[in-house]
């Protein structure tokens, strides 16, 4: 066991999970990763490719279990076989459009899965958790920049967003019932980019739902053009504005949360925004990516995407004050690292 203890990382083979595991290993934490491989690539059910790459990058070994967080017995066995100090809970389904079509799958996976995990944690006396939440809990912004006390849940427009809201509410109630729990819910804005080595990055299956991986697949020639969803928003150039945050900055936010929870006077439930506080439009991101990659990004303006808001960006000052965390990488580094990953891995983690 390493000096900072052992962290169980659910969804550890995914995009945010794998980048966080790098930072944990580099900061003297031992890591146990679990993932049911629903949204990550593993050759013939071996250790997921993302985690093999993390092992190469860090020169360290990750204990990995191919386990679903809804599998109570399997989870319990893991908690009984290791001395786990804290959990970082990433495992979830995250495709907004899919969640509208199959809400029960999302509620089952994200809510039932989370509550099973928390029950097993409680039964094994592990009561420290960092939860992957999302700016989506704020729904349509009522004011900008959004602070942590912006209302949540009221106008979450899709089942995915509601699962994040409900799990936050579950965790608040758990903390009320048992003061030994320590919970930090991190509300991510728009995570993008890749590890600066280009060895790990975002590997969406099928057509990317999100802007950055779509742009990068256009740049590499996997897709012909980007469809820009609307240019008639009340923004600087009419396209949607978002707070993009580099994945390594985001990953480090989780370490800061663990450190915060280990302070003797920390108790109960707290939430922090992880964003830069700066908004960029779709056209600005296209421009920055063109510059970073030296490629022209073909695009066409099409109608708005249902459920999109015009502008979203964080007030990240609470995380700066209380977690001593702040984003350090700007839009150019986000594009540079995405491009490095995409160029080195034109088909993502699959080699063929």
Residue 348 contact, options ligand NAD, ligand WQD, none, Cβ 5-8 Å cut-off depending on partner type: none
Q: Which of 8, 40, 42, 212 binds ligand NAD (CB under 6 A)?
A: 40
Q: Which of 305, 320, 322, 333 binds ligand WQD (CB under 6 A)?
A: 305
Stretch that binds ligand NAD, among 35-43, 57-65, 231-239, 294-302 (CB under 6 A): 35-43
| Nearest approach, Cβ of residue 316 and ligand NAD (Å) | 15
C-alpha 124/C-alpha 78 separation (Å) is 10
Q: Which of 211, 286, 327, 334 binds ligand WQD (CB under 6 A)?
A: 211
| Contacting ligand NAD within 161-200 (CB under 6 A) | 188, 191
C-alpha 248/C-alpha 90 separation (Å) is 15
Residues facing residue 146 across a β-bridge: 314
The site string for ligand WQD over 97-136 (x = CB under 6 A, - otherwise) reads -------------------------------------x-x
Residue 79 contact, options ligand NAD, ligand WQD, none, Cβ 5-8 Å cut-off depending on partner type: none
The site string for ligand WQD over 225-254 (x = CB under 6 A, - otherwise) reads -xxxx----------x-x------------
Q: How many positions of this chain bind ligand NAD (CB under 6 A)?
A: 27
HEC-encoded secondary structure of the chain: CCCCCEEEEECCCCHHHHHHHHHHHHCCCEEEEEECCCCCCCHHHCCCHHHHHHHHHHCCCCEEEECCCCCHHHHHHHHHHCCCCEEEECCCCCCHHHHHHCHHHHHHHHHHHHHHHHHHHHHCCCCEEEEEEEHHHHCCCCCCCECCCCCCCCCCCCHHHHHHHHHHHHHHHHHHHCCCCEEEEEEECEEECCCCCCCCCCCCCCCCCCHHHHHHHHHCCCCCCEEEECCCCCCCCCCCEECEEEHHHHHHHHHHHHHHHCCCCCCEEEEEEECCCCCEEHHHHHHHHHHHHCCCCCEEEECCCCCCCCECCECCHHHHHHHCCCCCCCHHHHHHHHHHHHHHCCCCCCCC
| Residue 96 engages ligand WQD in binding (rule: CB under 6 A) | yes
Q: Which of residues 32 and 129 has its CB atom nearest to ligand WQD in the complex?
A: 129
What length does the chain have?
352
Q: Which of residues 110 and 248 has its CB atom nearest to ligand WQD in the complex?
A: 110
Q: Which of 86, 114, 134, 271 binds ligand NAD (CB under 6 A)?
A: 134
Angular region, 268: left φ>0, alpha ψ -120 to 50, beta rest: left
C-alpha 101/C-alpha 312 separation (Å) is 25
| Nearest approach, Cβ of residue 234 and ligand WQD (Å) | 13
| Residue 210 engages ligand WQD in binding (rule: CB under 6 A) | yes
Stretch that binds ligand WQD, among 28-36, 208-216, 314-322, 325-333 (CB under 6 A): 208-216
- Whether 106 is catalytic is no
Of the candidates 29, 160, 233, 244, the residue annotated as catalytic is: 160
| Residue 39 engages ligand NAD in binding (rule: CB under 6 A) | yes
The residues annotated as belonging to the active site are 160
Interface with ligand NAD by CB under 6 A: which residues?
10-11, 13-17, 35-40, 68-70, 90-94, 109, 113, 132, 134, 188, 191
Interface with ligand WQD by CB under 6 A: which residues?
94, 96, 134, 136, 161, 190, 209-211, 214, 226-229, 240, 242, 282, 305, 308
């Amino acid at each position: 066991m390493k000096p900072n203890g052992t962290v169980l990382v659910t969804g550890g083979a995914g995009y945010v999970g794998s980048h966080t595991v790098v930072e944990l290993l580099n900061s003297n934490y031992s890591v146990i990763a679990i993932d049911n491989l629903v949204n990550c690539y593993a050759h013939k059910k071996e250790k997921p490719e993302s985690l093999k790459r993390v092992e190469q990058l860090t020169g360290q070994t990750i204990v990995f279990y191919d386990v679903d967080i809804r599998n109570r017995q399997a989870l319990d066995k893991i908690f009984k076989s290791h001395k786990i100090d804290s959990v970082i809970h990433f495992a979830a389904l995250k495709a907004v459009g899919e969640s509208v079509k199959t809400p029960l799958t999302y509620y089952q996976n994200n809510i039932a899965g989370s509550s099973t995990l928390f029950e097993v944690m409680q039964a094994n006396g592990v009561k420290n958790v960092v939860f992957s939440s999302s700016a989506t809990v704020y729904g349509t912004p009522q004011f900008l920049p959004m602070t942590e006390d912006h209302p949540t849940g009221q106008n979450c427009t899709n089942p995915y967003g509601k699962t994040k809201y409900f799990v936050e509410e579950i965790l608040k109630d758990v903390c009320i019932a048992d003061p030994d729990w320590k919970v930090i819910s991190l509300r991510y804005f728009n995570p993008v980019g890749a590890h600066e080595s280009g060895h790990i990055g975002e590997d969406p299956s099928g057509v990317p739902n999100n802007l950055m991986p779509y742009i990068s697949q256009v740049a590499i020639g996997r897709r012909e053009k980007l469809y820009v969803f609307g240019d008639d928003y009340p923004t600087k150039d009419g396209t949607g504005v978002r707070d993009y945050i580099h994945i390594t900055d985001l990953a480090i936010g989780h370490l800061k949360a663990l450190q915060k929870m280990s302070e003797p006077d920390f108790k109960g439930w707290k939430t922090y925004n992880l964003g830069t506080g700066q908004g960029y439009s779709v056209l600005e991101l296209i421009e920055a990516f063109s510059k970073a990659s030296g490629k022209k990004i073909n695009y066409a303006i099409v109608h708005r995407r249902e459920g999109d808001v015009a502008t979203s960006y964080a007030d990240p000052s609470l995380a700066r004050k209380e977690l001593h965390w702040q984003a350090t990488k700007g839009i150019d580094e986000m594009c540079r690292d995405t491009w490095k990953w995409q160029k080195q891995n034109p088909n993502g983690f699959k080699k063929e």
